[in-house]
């Protein structure tokens, strides 16, 4: 499989780019589909490696799923019981495989989910997911790297999350949708992907209220019926192309987006001097005369997304002045800093903060993608740098960005 990207930098990018469906909505909706009776059809699912792994996991558990000619994804679980175990080697590649915990418990009261892998961006415990499952009546054991969970008398309950974890909120929403009685999630995650999951469950006959606020109430229903549903656009992919305009001195229109989902990103990009306007098709982003420094703190939604932190550092490394970026969600997200420094960036780490002293130029270098978003950030630095950058381990980038090479080339990037 292709694992390298070679970028010749220095070209301002111009044009329009169509944003794909949201990776994080696609992954959870695929898991949730196993709870429905009949064939679910999902539109706008991005064709990325993470989704392909999710489909492999489905098929290994006895679900029939695959792409249709019109680009939609069909998911048809068996009428009777299906496999309850996510295969270890696939699940290790993809943290989102943990979303089968809530979906399987909701569907048939039993799940064996591999302790997940995915991006190496920090400790990613499962305690809140398990707390939720247990509150709704599951007995949980962890053995040989697997979480085994089974419900005997499932019943709705109140669950307080110590941190508004996206995955834990989603697992509880799925399980609760088929658990008798009312479940209340307090301090729930408020990300747009949570709202998309609630809309999806409700379209299937579920009863979820309050998604998008920090209290979500779910009434369990006995049956969920398969539907045809289109997932929301990817706000992180959109944000990445918006920075591509700002960092290369170009002008890019991002199309097929929901502007309100992008407010935290728009606000910070404007602080750095980018000029952003709403158009009929989406958002037009024009680089400012100069890149200005900005301070950033990552937070759960509607705060600034941790998934945009690395890309923002790429931009700030070329600002006229010093920025402070604080990472509050995943502690290892700064692993990429050494790669930026290889390209000429001036960045110092102090605990959870990166002090980014802007420099006028970056230079092409041989660098390595350490995780998905870090890889995207290296692409951005490479587009702005003089000379050629070789990005190794680019597989991380393909995990989350649909047709990234084609999209960048259509905007004028030179990618070999
Ligand atoms: C999801 C997104 C990921 C994004 C992240 C934060 C998907 C597939 N992935 O990941 O792109 O970066 O949200 O917006 O949707 N935590 C615990 N205990 C738990 C669960 C989480 O302490 O049981 C902590 C984590 O260590 C982390 C924080 O909560 O510090 C946020 O994690 P969480 O929101 O759960 O992220 P994911 O759902 O894994």
How big is the CA angle at 197 (ends 193 and 202), to the nearest 5 degrees? 145
Domain layout of the chain by residue ranges: 4-19+233-415, 23-219
Burial of 80 (0-12, 13-18, 19+ CB in 10 A): exposed
Which atom of ligand 1 is nearest the CA belonging to 306?
12
Cα separations in angstroms, 20 against 250, 294, 348? 21, 28, 34
DSSP state of 179: S
Pairing of strands 182-186, 215-219: antiparallel
Asked whether residue 121 carries a pLDDT value surpassing 90, the answer given is: no
80 Cα to the center of ligand 1, angstroms: 32
| Structural element, H or E, at residue 374 | helix 372-384
- The finding on whether 269 has its CB within 6 A of some atom of ligand 1 is no
Residue-wise over 360-382: b if at least 16 C-beta within 10 A, else e? eebebbebbbbbbbbbbbbbbbb
CATH number of this structure's domain 23-219: 3.65.10.10
- The finding on whether 329 has its CB within 6 A of some atom of ligand 1 is yes
Mutate to test the pocket of ligand 1, among 99, 127, 163 (most ligand atoms within 8 A of CB): 163
**Closest among 356, 383, 95 to 240, alpha carbons compared:** 383
166 Cα to the center of ligand 1, angstroms: 5
194 Cα to the center of ligand 1, angstroms: 12
Q: What are the E-state strand segments in 68-126?
A: 73-76, 110-114
Domain 4-19+233-415 has CATH 3.65.10.10: yes
Cα separations in angstroms, 210 against 39, 197, 202, 216, 219? 27, 12, 12, 5, 12
- The finding on whether 247 has its CB within 6 A of some atom of ligand 1 is no
Q: How many CB atoms lie within 10 A of CB 56?
A: 16
**Residue with the nearest Cα to atom 34 of ligand 1?**
165
Place of tokens 């996510």: 86
Which atom of ligand 1 is nearest the CA belonging to 372?
11
Mean pLDDT of 98-111: 97
- The finding on whether 128 has its CB within 6 A of some atom of ligand 1 is yes
**Residue with the nearest Cα to atom 9 of ligand 1?**
24
Asked whether residue 102 carries a pLDDT value surpassing 70, the answer given is: yes
- The finding on whether 162 has its CB within 6 A of some atom of ligand 1 is no
d(CA 120, CA 306): 14
Pinpoint the alpha helices (H) of 71-157.
Answer: 88-93, 100-108, 127-135
- Residue 25 CA, chain-centre distance (Å), reads 8
- The finding on whether 245 has its CB within 6 A of some atom of ligand 1 is no
**Residue with the nearest Cα to atom 26 of ligand 1?**
124
Asked whether residue 357 carries a pLDDT value surpassing 70, the answer given is: yes
**Closest among 26, 31, 24 to 43, alpha carbons compared:** 26
Mean pLDDT of 142-162: 94
Residue-wise over 286-315: b if at least 16 C-beta within 10 A, else e? bbeeebbbbebebebbeebbbbbbbbbbbb
330 Cα to the center of ligand 1, angstroms: 8
Asked whether residue 92 carries a pLDDT value surpassing 90, the answer given is: no
Does this model's pTM top 0.95? My answer is yes
Active-site position among 91, 96, 104, 119:
119
Pinpoint the alpha helices (H) of 43-165.
Answer: 49-60, 88-93, 100-108, 127-135
Q: Do domains 4-19+233-415 and 23-219 have the same CATH topology?
A: yes
167 Cα to the center of ligand 1, angstroms: 6
Q: Does the annotation count 49 as an active-site position?
A: no
Which atom of ligand 1 is nearest the CA belonging to 131?
23
| Residue-wise pLDDT tens digits, 362-395 | 999 999 999 999 999 999 999 999 999 999 999 9
| Residue-wise pLDDT tens digits, 108-117 | 999 999 886 5
Asked whether residue 123 carries a pLDDT value surpassing 70, the answer given is: no
Mean pLDDT of 102-121: 83
Percent of the chain with pLDDT over 70: 98
Mean pLDDT of 30-38: 98
Cα separations in angstroms, 399 against 47, 301, 346, 373, 383? 9, 22, 28, 10, 20
| Residue-wise pLDDT tens digits, 184-232 | 999 999 999 999 999 999 999 999 999 999 999 999 999 999 999 999 9
Residues 6+ apart with CB under 8 A from 14: 250, 251, 252, 411, 412
d(CA 244, CA 383): 8
Mean pLDDT of 336-364: 97
d(CA 127, CA 351): 24
Q: For residue 78, report the phi and psi dihedrals to the nearest 5 degrees.
A: -65, 160
Q: Per-residue confidence at 332, pLDDT binned at 50, 70, 90?
A: confident
Mean of pLDDT over the chain = 95
Place of tokens 């937070």: 299
**Residue with the nearest Cα to atom 5 of ligand 1?**
166
- The finding on whether 331 has its CB within 6 A of some atom of ligand 1 is no
Asked whether residue 119 carries a pLDDT value surpassing 80, the answer given is: no
**Residue with the nearest Cα to atom 33 of ligand 1?**
165
- The finding on whether 160 has its CB within 6 A of some atom of ligand 1 is no
- The finding on whether 163 has its CB within 6 A of some atom of ligand 1 is yes
Q: Per-residue confidence at 122, pLDDT binned at 50, 70, 90?
A: low
- The finding on whether 24 has its CB within 6 A of some atom of ligand 1 is yes
Asked whether residue 118 carries a pLDDT value surpassing 50, the answer given is: no
Say if residues 304 and 272 touch (Cβ distance below 8 Å): no
218 Cα to the center of ligand 1, angstroms: 21
189 Cα to the center of ligand 1, angstroms: 10
Residues 6+ apart with CB under 8 A from 70: none
DSSP state of 213: B
- The finding on whether 5 has its CB within 6 A of some atom of ligand 1 is no
């Amino acid at each position: 499989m292709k694992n390298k990207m070679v970028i010749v930098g220095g070209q301002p990018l111009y044009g329009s780019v169509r944003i794909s469906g949201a990776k994080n909505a696609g992954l959870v909706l695929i898991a949730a589909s196993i709870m429905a009776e009949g064939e679910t059809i999902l539109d706008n699912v991005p064709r990325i490696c993470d989704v392909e792994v999710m489909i492999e996991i489905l098929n290994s558990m006895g679900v029939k799923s695959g792409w249709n000619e019109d680009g939609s994804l069909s998911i048809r679980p068996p009428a009777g019981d299906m496999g309850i175990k996510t295969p270890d080697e696939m699940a290790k590649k993809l943290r989102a495989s943990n979303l089968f915990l809530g979906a399987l418990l909701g569907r048939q009261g039993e799940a064996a989910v591999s302790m997940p892998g995915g991006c190496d961006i920090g400790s990613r415990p499962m305690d809140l997911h398990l707390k939720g499952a247990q509150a709704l009546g599951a007995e949980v054991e962890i053995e040989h790297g697997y979480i085994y969970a089974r419900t005997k008398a499932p019943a709705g309950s109140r669950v307080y999350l110590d941190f508004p974890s996206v995955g834990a909120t989603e697992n509880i929403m799925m399980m609760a949708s088929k658990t008798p009685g009312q479940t209340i999630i307090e301090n729930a995650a408020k990300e747009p992907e949570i709202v998309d999951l609630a809309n999806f469950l409700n379209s299937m006959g579920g009863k979820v209220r309050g998604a998008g606020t920090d209290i979500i109430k779910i009434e369990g229903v006995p049956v969920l019926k398969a539907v045809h549903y289109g997932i929301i656009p990817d706000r992180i992919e959109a944000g990445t192309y918006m920075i591509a305009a700002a960092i290369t001195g170009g002008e890019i229109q991002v199309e097929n987006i929901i502007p309100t989902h992008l407010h935290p990103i728009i606000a910070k990009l404007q602080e750095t001097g980018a000029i952003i306007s709403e158009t009929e098709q989406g958002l037009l982003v024009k680089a400012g005369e100069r890149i200005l420094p900005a301070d950033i703190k990552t937070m759960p939604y509607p705060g600034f997304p941790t998934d945009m932190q690395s890309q923002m550092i790429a931009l700030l490394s070329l600002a006229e002045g010093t920025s402070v970026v604080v990472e509050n969600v995943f502690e290892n997200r700064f692993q990429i800093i050494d790669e930026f420094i290889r390209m000429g960036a001036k960045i110092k780490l102090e605990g959870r903060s990166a002090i980014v002293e802007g420099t006028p130029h970056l230079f092409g270098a041989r660098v390595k993608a350490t995780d998905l978003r870090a890889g995207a950030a290296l692409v951005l630095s490479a587009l702005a740098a003089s000379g050629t950058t070789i990005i190794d381990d680019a597989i991380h980038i393909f995990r989350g960005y649909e047709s990234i090479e084609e999209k960048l080339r259509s905007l004028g990037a030179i990618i070999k």
